[in-house]
Chains A and B, each alone.
Chain A
Amino acid sequence: MLTDTDLQAIGLTLQVAALTTVILLLVGTPLAWWLAHTRSWVKKPLSALVALPIVLPPSVLGFYLLVFMGPQGTLGQWMQALGLGLLPFTFTGLVVASVFYSMPFMVQPIQNAFEAMGTRPLEVAASLRASPMDAFFSVVVPLCKPGFVTGTIMCFAHTVGEFGVVLMVGGNIPGATRVVSVQIYDHVEAMEYSDAHRLAAVMLSFSFMVLLVLNMVNSARRKTGGA
């Protein structure tokens, strides 16, 4: 069925997507919280910045990331100053690129959930002397669970489906940066159509399953009348 390099690409893709999702849960949640509650003028430009990858062609993002992470780029110079080496063509580099690329898919659903919840539940929690941390984990997280679930699934799935950015900054290295989408592209370019077909079919079923699960989560939420 699938070749060894196909399986390697699938394993790599799942690792990049999982790591990106975990990082964005940790980074995206406070960002979404801040965006949902701030009255600062920075809110609008920052929201626009977070949403950019939705409208930006991956080639633009990939091009800028390659420059930004390169030896003359800002991030590249920091990385070198810290003795960490450069990011392009590495697994870490792919994860960093994916975090930028998938950020809106995590932040926006969570921010929407926070905004829909409003401040009332927190005021009640505070009047019952819950600490902010306690209130967050025992009131906010359960109430906003659908937002977290949607964000997590969308972020993971979107990272799995990433193509343009990884093609631009990845360097197509087996086991390090050759993810499934690039592997399929490679098969097609080399006219290995049956290999391309098998791997593409796997991606197709995966994407369908993700959307099916997402719909089921959403309709369950409507039935129980959750936030």
Chain B
Amino acid sequence: MKFSLKPLLLSALTLAFSAPGLAEQTQIAVAANFAEPIKAIAAVLEKTTGHTLKVTLGATGKLYAQIKNGAPFDVLLAANTATPAALEKDGLAKTGSSFTYANGKLVLWSADTTRVDAKGEVLQGNSFHKLAYANPKTAPYGEAAVQVMDKLGLTSSLTPKLVQGESIGQAFHFVYTGNAEIGFVAMSQVLEGGKLKGGSMWVVPQALYQPIQQNAVLLQHGANNAAAQALVQLLQSPNIKNLIRSYGYDL
């Protein structure tokens, strides 16, 4: 009988790639405000399980449009509760899989260490030319910023000074480069290890805007992906919750 190596090699390869507990990769969509924490979480996930994350950042509304149009994401970490709920209703996410992974906080921030005072009174004055915020149509943090300006009765006086980033990430970039002196950004963007990384900020009181409850949801595309499931579990573990809190989120 002639001995062939081929079937043996093939079965060995198949075994190697289907071994239980072997690392998988998952493609996830993440609201821009969560850019910093997700990096730390990805590192933990890779260390503890070997699974790797491929992250796409953007405004929640934009990510929703992409998923509706067939983008191959396994998990969505939104900046609101409405988008995960809508995806469940659309049949694009696993029913009942939506859960809160963070409650976001809005801050008024400047790269300049003295510009923003502890009460946000800078908004009333004329010491700045440009105020950056995220597009309120697509970014929940932008919507929250609009609510704050409305509540303070400053909408009409601030309108000529507003510049809009496509996501909270771009809004942050405008302020970070100093092109806008101040801006409404996510607390997670300016905090690291519970401390302000630089500049000056006013933590906007919760009474001035609707809570930014951020939900994650397992998408149908990732229903059978081990890495996606591991991420969803990890996000609900006490250690990761502490890590998320250190970026200034409530949980």
Contacts and interface: CB of A to CB of B under 8 A. Distances in A.
B62 A189 contact: yes
Nearest to B181: A71
A83 to B, nearest CB: 14
Given A171-B164, A189-B135, A70 B178 contact: yes
B137 A172 contact: no
B177 interface: yes
A128 interface: no
B59 interface: yes
Residue with the greatest number of chain B CB neighbours at <10 A, chosen from A70, A89, A185, A191 = A89
A89 B135 contact: no
B236 interface: no
Nearest to B171: A171
A119 B180 CA distance: 51
B7 to A, nearest CB: 48
B75 to A, nearest CB: 21
Contacts of A188: 65
Given A70-B178, A71-B178, A173 B61 contact: no
B137 A71 contact: no
A190 B164 CA distance: 14
Contact of B180 (A85, A89, A191): A89
B132 interface: yes
Contacts of A88: 174, 179
B158 interface: no
B166 interface: yes
B57 to A, nearest CB: 14
Interface string B137-149: 1100000000000
A86 interface: yes
A226 to B, nearest CB: 46
Interface residues of A, number: 20
Contacts of A190: 61, 137-138
B130 interface: yes
A66 interface: yes
Interface in B155-209: 162-166, 173-174, 177-180
Among B65, B137, B178, residue most surrounded by chain A Cβ atoms (within 10 Å):
B178
A66 B179 contact: yes
B62 A171 contact: no
Contacts of B166: 167, 172, 185, 189
A67 interface: yes
Closest 6 CB pairs of A and B: A171-B163, A172-B164, A71-B178, A190-B137, A88-B179, A70-B177
Interface of B: 59, 61-62, 65, 129-130, 132, 135, 137-138, 162-166, 173-174, 177-180
16 contacts: A66-B173, A66-B174, A70-B178, A70-B179, A85-B129, A88-B179, A89-B130, A171-B164, A171-B165, A172-B165, A172-B166, A173-B163, A186-B135, A189-B59, A190-B61, A191-B61
